[in-house]
A and B are shown apart, each in its own frame.
Chain A
Amino acid sequence: MSTAGLALGNGRPVTTALWQVLALPLLALLVWQVWALTLESDTRAPYPIKVLTTFLALTASGDLPSALLQSLGRVIAGFCFALLLGCGLGILMGANRKLRDSLDPIIEGFRPIAPMAILPIAILWFGTGTPAALSIVTYAAFFPLLVNTVHGISHVDPKLVRAATTMGLPRWRIMLRVLLPASLPSVVLGARLAMGVAWTAIIAAELAVGAKSGGGTSGGIGQMMFVFYAYSVDLNAIVVCMIVVGVVAMLGDRIFRAVERRLMPWRP
C-alpha cells in the first residue's frame, strides 16, 4: 500500500485558497450566531452581531480607544525597562562565564514563578495602580530578554571572535562589530517573545488589580474587562475586549517579525 499520499515536509510550498482560510472561522461564527438566536431575546449571552455593535459603540464613546492606549502605554513602558535591565544584564552574563554560572541558578529558580504570582508582592509594595501593573510587565518581559541575550552573546561562534582577533581588532571593537551583530538575531527573538508575554501580563495584571481594587484606578483593557464582568455584566463587551487583546497580540508579533527581517537581511 502506497504511502505516497502522506503530506509530510516534501518542500513544496502550500497555497491555501481564500475560501479554505475563511471556511471554518465563518462556520464557527454562523453556528454561534444561530445558537444565540435560539435563546431568549433578552439573553445575556454574547453573539457575533451584538459583539459587533458593542464594539462600534465602545469605539465611538472613546472608552475602548482610551483603555487600549492606557494598556499599550504601560506595556511599552514596562517593555523598555525590561529591555534595559534584561539586555544589560544579558550582555554582562553572556560575556562572562563566571557571572553566568553564578546567576544562572537564581534565574532558573524564578522561571517557574509566573508574573501573576508576583502580583501580590507588587500590590504590597505599590498599592493597586499603575506602578504595580508596570512592575509585573517588567518582570514578565525581563526573562525572555535576558535568557535570549545571554544565549545570543554566549553562542557567538568562537571562530568569528578568533578571526577578528587575528585581524588585530581591539576588544571593544570585537564587542561592537562581531558580538553584537552576531547576537542580534537572538536578542530580537527575545524581544518578540518578551513583547508577547508582556502584553499578556499587562492584561492579567489589570484584570487582577481591577478585581482587587473594585474597578478603581488601574484602568486599561484588563480592568475594563473586569468591570464588564462584575458590574455591568456585559458579556458582549467582554468578548470585544478579548478580540482586541488578540488582535493587538497578533499585530505586535507581526511588527516584531518585520523588524527582525529588516534588521537582519543576512538571515534567510
Chain B
Amino acid sequence: MTDNPKLRLRGVSKRFEATRANGPTTAVADFSLNVANGEFVCIVGPSGCGKSTVLNMIAGLDAASAGSIEMDGRTITGPGADRGVMFQDYALMPWQTVEQNIGFGLEYGTPGEGMTPAQRAQRVRDYIELVGLNGSERKYPHQLSGGMRQRVALARLLANGPEVLLLDEPLGALDAQTRLILQVELLRIWGETLERSHRKTAIFITHDIEEAVFLGDRVIVMSSHPGRVKADILIDLPRPRQESLRMSARFGELTDRIWTLIRDEAYRAIGGGSPANTPTQEIRV
C-alpha cells in the first residue's frame, strides 16, 4: 500500500435517524479503507450491508456521521465532478438524446469549463466511439436497450474526466449474458491495458462475487448490520482479464473464499436461518 492513497476512509460510520417504519439504524460502522491511485476496488456484501451508503459518502451525496473521508489528503465535503458516479438505474435525462446526455456535465457542470463548444462536441464524439455507440447519437434513452443505456451512463461518467470512478452496481439491471459481455467491455474502457498510473481509480459495488473477482484488483468483503470491512482480499489474477480466467482454479479459490465469508450473512439477509439449519433429510412424498 502506498503512502499516499488516492482515497482514505478512516473510521467512517453512518447513522440514520428514526423513521416512521424503523428506529434509528447504524448502516455503516467504523469503515476504514485505503485505495491507491489507479486501483480497481470491488466491494461486495449481502443485501443491505451498506455498500451503497459507503459509495454515497465517498461521492459526497451523504455525509458521514463519524470518521473522515479524504481524497488526495483533502477532506470530502460534497459531491463534485472529481468523483464521478454511475448509478444502478443510470440516471439518464429522459428528455435528452445520447449526445446531450453524455455532454450534460460538460455543458452545465464544472468539467466543461474553459472548453469551447467545438471541443465539447469532439469530446462527446470520442466517448461515444469509445463505448461503441456510434449511430445512436440522436436516440433517446427510452429507445435504447438496457445495455446501451449503461454505456451512455459510462460515457457520460468518463467524459467528465473524473479522477475517481464510483460505480454502484452498474451492471445490476442487465441480464446475465449481457452482464458477462459488458464486464469485459468495462475493463477495456476503464483502461485495463494502460499502466497503473494512467488508469483511473475505481470503486465498484456489486453483490455478484464472480463479477467482483473478475473485475477487481482487490475485493473488500463487507459484513452487515452494521456494515464494516470483514476482509480485504487481493486478487492476483493477471491483467488483461480473459474470459478463460473464469474457469481457472485460482478464480474458483478466490470466489469460494469470499462466498464462505459472506454466506451466513447472506442467509440471514433473506430472512432464513444459517445453512446449518436447513433441513438435509429428503422429504418423502
Binding site for B on A (CB under 8 A): 2, 4, 12-13
Contact = CB atoms under 8 A, between A and B. Distances in A.
B20 interface: yes
Contacts of B20: 13
B78 interface: yes
Interface in B1-54: 19-20
A224 B132 CA distance: 73
B243 to A, nearest CB: 37
B78 A2 contact: yes
Interface residues of B, number: 3
5 contacts: A2-B78, A4-B78, A12-B19, A13-B19, A13-B20
Provide the main secondary structure of the chain B interface. Answer: loop
A71 to B, nearest CB: 40
Nearest to A11: B19
A203 to B, nearest CB: 39
B19 to A, nearest CB: 7
Nearest to B21: A13
Interface of B: 19-20, 78
Closest 5 CB pairs between A and B? A13-B20, A2-B78, A12-B19, A13-B19, A4-B78
Nearest to B63: A4
Nearest to B62: A4
Contacts of A13: 19-20
Contacts of B19: 12-13
Contacts of A2: 78
B161 to A, nearest CB: 21
Contacts of A12: 19
B20 to A, nearest CB: 6
A4 B20 CA distance: 22
A146 B65 CA distance: 55
B81 to A, nearest CB: 13
Nearest to A3: B79
A4 B60 CA distance: 11
A13 B19 CA distance: 8
A239 B19 CA distance: 43
B157 to A, nearest CB: 19
Contacts of B78: 2, 4
Contacts of A4: 78
A165 to B, nearest CB: 26
B284 to A, nearest CB: 26
B208 to A, nearest CB: 27
A12 B20 CA distance: 9
A12 B17 CA distance: 11
A12 B19 CA distance: 7
A45 to B, nearest CB: 46
